A = this chain, B = another copy of it.
Amino acid sequence: MDKKIKQKFSEVEAEIGLTPFLRALLLTDGSITTLLEAFTNREVKVAGLKQKTISSGNELAVELNINPDEELNEREVILSAGDVPVVYAKSYAVISRLGGDARNDILKTDVPIGKILRRHKLETHREIREIGLKHDDKIAGILNLNNDKILFRSYVIIQKNVPLMKIEEYFGRI
User: A37 — nearest CB in chain B belongs to which residue?
Assistant: B27
Interface membership of A50, Cβ < 8 A: no
Given contacts A31-B29, A125-B123, A158-B121, contact A24 B23 (CB under 8 A): no
Say yes or no: A159 contacts B123, CB within 8 Å.
yes
Q: Does A145 contact B (CB under 8 A)?
A: no
**In residues 140-168 of chain A, which contact B (Cβ within 8 Å)?**
158-161
User: Is A38 at the interface (CB under 8 A from chain B)?
Assistant: yes
Closest 10 interchain pairs by CB?
A30-B30, A24-B38, A23-B38, A123-B123, A28-B30, A29-B30, A123-B125, A20-B39, A27-B34, A121-B125
Other contacts beyond A24-B24, A121-B158, A123-B123: 19, CB < 8 A: A20-B40, A24-B35, A24-B38, A26-B38, A27-B34, A28-B31, A28-B35, A28-B38, A29-B31, A29-B114, A30-B30, A30-B31, A118-B125, A121-B125, A121-B127, A121-B161, A123-B125, A123-B159, A123-B160
